[in-house]
Amino acid sequence: MKHPSSNILVAGAGGFIGGHLVAYFRKQGIKNIRAVDIKPFGEWYQKFEDVENLSLNLGELPACNQAVKGMEWVYNLAADMGGMGFIELHKAECMLTVLINTHLLMASRDAKVKRFFYASSACVYAADKQTTTENPGLKEADAYPAMPEDGYGWEKLFSERMCRHFREDFKLETRMVRYHNVYGPNGTYDGGREKAPAAICRKVIEAQKNKSGEIEIWGDGEQTRSFMYIDDCIKGSTQIMESDIREPINLGSAEMVSINQLVDIAEGIAGVKLKRKYNLGAPKGVRGRSSDNTLIQKLMGWEPGTKLKDGLSKTYEWIEGEMN
């Protein structure tokens, strides 16, 4: 089923992925886009005057009823979240996000919304599957038996189940995507909510600005991750929304690197070599995490098209421009 030509809600539109999604729909010529976020307009990463922008607290049911009224498709990317430095220290706040998805589902059911998208996370995966740096890639089935990231991961896993049961009980077509570390321009790069690629870029730029010659790395730098560029994220998300895939599915890159290797790439972009100072007491998350893309390749023939070095170059350039 193709996207409708109008009446699409993006919840969390003031955030990183949500802002890029609104930009994508505008380029596609979709009319009557409603963009909603709890943040004041001045704090949105991207805001467009030719769409309907609303500042609402979607943790409250009346706000959700207002947001979904007249909409055909709903994309829920709204969440109180950030990188490992945020989610490890704000577990209760992350879990309160369950109110957003719960109330959006209820409002969408009552408003006869045709299709509902939920942005889940690789943090739903069982911790005992992520104890080594040589992670073979997490398959969708690895979410059970459940042992997700405490706080944020439990909220995501619970909300996946709620989407499933709203489809089964109320015939609301839901689609669930498990994102693996999305990065790119027009996102958070400081303040505590930033993720590793943006944080590393910022630290390399700061080291050049203050001529310190060194960079702090959280953990020993050997922990591994895979990172997906924002353009690939948006293409994959919209294709999954259009698809018949009703179960949660990975959306990420299988190009796994260590944090040390991520720093290597950022240093190469900047043309510098920095002394590394390892902060072993800092939040560092699981030991190894990567996306197994077997299922999405089988069902959709999908694979991210942006190499990490290329995406990080664009991200670095944008962050450098913002900091200058």
CA dihedral 74, 35, 304, 116 (to 10 degrees): -10
Which residues form the catalytic set?
152
In 3D, which of 138, 261, 124 has the Cα closest to residue 197?
A: 261
Write the single-letter amino acid at 319: I
The conformational region for residue 245 under phi > 0 = left, psi -120 to 50 = alpha, else beta, is beta
- The two structure tokens encoding residue 52: 């309907």
Distance from C-alpha of 103 to C-alpha of 37, rounded to nearest angstrom: 14
263 within 8 A of 205, measured Cβ to Cβ: no
Residue 226 bridge partners (DSSP): 256
- CA angle (67, 154, 246) in 5-degree steps: 60
- The two structure tokens encoding residue 18: 């949500």
User: What is 102-124 written as a DSSP string?
Assistant: HHHHHHHHHTT-SEEEEEEEGGG
Give the Å distances, CA to CA, from 147 to 1, 127, 142.
Answer: 34, 6, 10
Q: Hey, is 42 helix, strand or coil?
A: helix
- Chain position carrying tokens 């209760």: 92
Instruction: State the greatest distance between any 2 C-alpha atoms of the chain, in Å, as a whole number.
Output: 60
- The two structure tokens encoding residue 223: 């922990």
107 within 8 A of 64, measured Cβ to Cβ: yes
- The two structure tokens encoding residue 127: 């911790």
CA dihedral 276, 277, 278, 279 (to 10 degrees): -150
